[in-house]
Amino acid sequence: MAQTHRAEPHRSGHVDTFAREHLPPPDQWPELRFDLPELRYPARLNCAAELLTGPPDDRPVFRTASGDGWTYGQLRARVDRVARLLTGGLGVVPGNRVLLRGPTTPWLAACWLAVLKAGAGAVTVLAQQRPPELRAICAIARVRHALCDVRAVDDLAKAEIPGLRITTYGGDAPDDLLTRAEPGAEAAGTTGTRAGTAPDTPYPAADTAADDVALIAFTSGTTGRPKGCMHFHRDVLAIADTFSAHVLKPRPDDLFAGSPPLGFTFGLGGLVIFPMRAGASALLLEQAGPRQLLPAVAEHRVSVLFTAPTAYRAMLDELDAYDVTSLRRCVSAGENLPAATWRSWHERTGLRIINGIGATELLHIFVSAADDGIRPGTTGVPVPGWHARVQDESGAPVPDGEPGLLAVRGPVGCRYLADPRQREYVRGGWNITGDRYVREPDGYFRYVARADDMIISAGYNIAGPEVEDALLRHPDVREAAVVGRPDAHRGQVVVAHAVLREGAERDADALRAFLRSEVAPYKCPREIHFADALPRTATGKLQRYRLLPQPQPQPQPPDHPRGDQA
């Protein structure tokens, strides 16, 4: 029999109770399902300790593009040193939120694990995010501590976040995190930890509850204000024990790699959680675009690859130049995977891309299929441990073959941090992802379109209103509207329409330069159009749909027999 969420929470291990106090009210939670035996976790659980336990000390865990490697034993020792410094010299207590910022490196992963092992909550952000974005995130999550790669600290310092204590790592300053966490630093008096503590004494993991908040992942909201998605210690393990264990099926000798940064839960799962849960290893690339992925796969013999459909399309043109025979698993998420891209990749490599849909609100992928179960042009079926259906606006299921809203429930559910949009995402116990889908008669789910104003470009979620707000901060912009235009390579691209004050110069390059200081580069419009007025209703409501390009008829691909689809 399926188990559902217990109404009474476990005794928290947090001293700082902000996150638990700002969970949604119980009547706004989705129904949680724990159908698989492996999802019935103990009441006391620290997911970082679980991920670090098991593999022998000499087994590889992380590798870099230069060939430098860490073993599980080295990772355990370094995580313990950072965790000891966090709770000693830096004064972090269980439940505090700690911002993590930097490119994808073993040290960023180690800091993430150390924050969780110390019982604090990790708030991992993108290295590209600009000061206004960082200020908003820190204000919402009330962040007072930050661990930041020294190369990414400038914008965090410029954000001037009140009360934020920034500790950098990777530099040569005497107060650098890595210097203070070196073996023997305690004896030199540079860490502020207890006198007499041996530098490599195992750090006891905080006694956290399975339902204590382990991380807060921020995602763009369609209203422009970012949403903090709170996830528990048990959630971190649940995504590995569902999608990874039952669909991906990793092996200890696998080497994972991919393009998504650790600030995206797609990357956090694919590059840290999944390999470590399987006792495998990951190649962590600071630069991981299509031009870097293929050489990395060939040089390091990567076996499991995570990236977006955009990258698979781009890599098709360069495939002949690289040996990718080491690959055995390719995972695609972040945007819809066209059947044509799937077939082209399969024809060129013999590999069946594992398509999937996930959400920051649910931490990772919940509908997917692998191997002979793949049907090109569909996303797949509910991952073991998850349930999905297609319903109408009232919450009633729609018949197979008819489009509607995708609704999902499983061991992880949406819990926004003090955000009224919780009521929009969770309805009748189901998580409503904002995607329109069709459930085919054979049980496969096929993507139709987004159901909201979210723009999805090369796997990035971009809220049009957020870019509009940034445009309106320019003194010459009176009105702004941002929409997505279909694009063959990126899925969609951002297009802005602006009305300027009288006499202002219509300089798209200058406006784009301003935006680069306000929002992450991937949110900047590819096109900026100037207008004398924007379309509005009689009551003044902006009519974005009138700015959308009109769809053009598309040629239909030829039918393929079932044998060509698998």
Domains of the chain as residue ranges with CATH = 250-452 (3.40.50.12780), 454-547 (3.30.300.30)
Are residues 335 and 458 in contact, defined by beta-carbon separation less than 8 angstroms? Answer: yes
Q: Check pLDDT > 90 for residue 360.
A: yes
- Cβ contacts of 77 within 8 Å, gap of 6 or more: 200
Pull the structure tokens for residue 497. 């329409």
pTM of the predicted model as reported, rounded to 2 decimal places: 0.84
Mean pLDDT of 312-327: 93
Query: In this predicted model, what pLDDT tens digit does every residue of 401-450 receive, in sequence order?
Result: 998 999 999 999 999 999 999 999 999 999 999 998 999 999 999 988 77
- As a whole number, mean pLDDT of residues 467-479 equals 86
Residue range 158-211, pLDDT digits in tens: 999 999 999 999 999 999 999 988 775 544 443 434 333 445 689 999 999 999
Q: What is the pLDDT of residue 394?
A: 94
Summarize the confidence of residues 54-63 as an average pLDDT.
97
What tokens were used for 273?
A: 């959680």
How far apart, in whole angstroms, are the C-alpha atoms of residue 55 and residue 118? 21
Average of per-residue pLDDT values in the chain? 90
Q: Among residues 221, 227, 321, 219, which one has the least CA distance to residue 266? A: 219
Nearest 5°: the CA angle 411, 429, 221 is 85
Write the pLDDT tens digit of every residue in 513-555: 999 999 999 999 999 999 998 887 544 556 777 888 765 544 4
Among 249-253, 420-424, 443-447, 467-471, the range scoring the smallest mean pLDDT is 467-471
pLDDT tens, residue by residue, 280-313: 999 999 999 889 999 999 999 999 999 988 889 8
**pLDDT confidence band for 501 (50 / 70 / 90):** confident
Average pLDDT value for residue range 95-111? 98
Tell me what pLDDT residue 556 has: 46
> In which band, very low, low, confident or very high, does the pLDDT at 225 lie, cut at 50, 70 and 90?
confident
